[in-house]
Amino acid sequence: MPFVRVWIHFVWSTKDRQPILSEEIRKRLFSHILENARDKGIHIDFINGYVDHVHCLISLGTDQTIKSLMQLIKGESSHWVNKNQLCRGKFAWQDEYFAASVSASNVESVRRYIENQEEHHRNRSFDDEFEDFLVRAGFERFSD
């Protein structure tokens, strides 16, 4: 049996970054995502977000890829939101997402960051936060 511990911090947003995830919707949605993930063998350590995005700390399994996790979590959860009519109109996630590895020594810090999303976004937009993630992770932006 392999012993693997690979932590990934995922961030993704609502389609067009629409601020439609009320506190009540987030509570129900995150509960559903956690339950669905458990059923699919996905270890979500921590999940939280704000009105237009989600942060998730996941311990990657040996047979899981970043792409497959995002497809499972985002695809199934958007279907569930629409089936349960939690939002007006058709709900969807943005295609893009952020994923970066987290060292074991920083896991607790990332948990606290994810936990404090509401407080964090009182003074900072998701666009600013996302841009900061890209810079700190060393991504380069190219114009089309």
* pLDDT tens for the chain, residues 1 to 144: 677 789 999 999 999 999 999 999 999 999 999 999 999 999 999 999 999 999 999 999 999 999 999 999 999 999 999 999 999 899 999 999 999 999 999 999 999 999 988 887 788 777 777 777 777 777 776 565
Report CA-CA distances (Å) from 45 to 7, 23, 33, 59, 102: 9, 20, 12, 7, 12
CB-based contact 67:58 (threshold 8 Å)? no
The b-or-e profile of 8-42 (16+ CB within 10 A means b, else e) is bbbbbbbeeeeebbeeebbeebbebbeebbeeeeb
Which helix (H) or strand (E) segment holds residue 93: the answer is strand 93-102
**Tokens 């009182």 — which residue?**
122
Which helix (H) or strand (E) segment holds residue 31: the answer is helix 23-39
Instruction: Look up residue 30 and give its amino acid.
Output: F
CATH topology of domain 6-136: Alpha-Beta Plaits (3.30.70)
List all residues 6 or more positions away from 134 whose beta carbon is below 8 Å from its beta carbon.
Answer: 98, 141
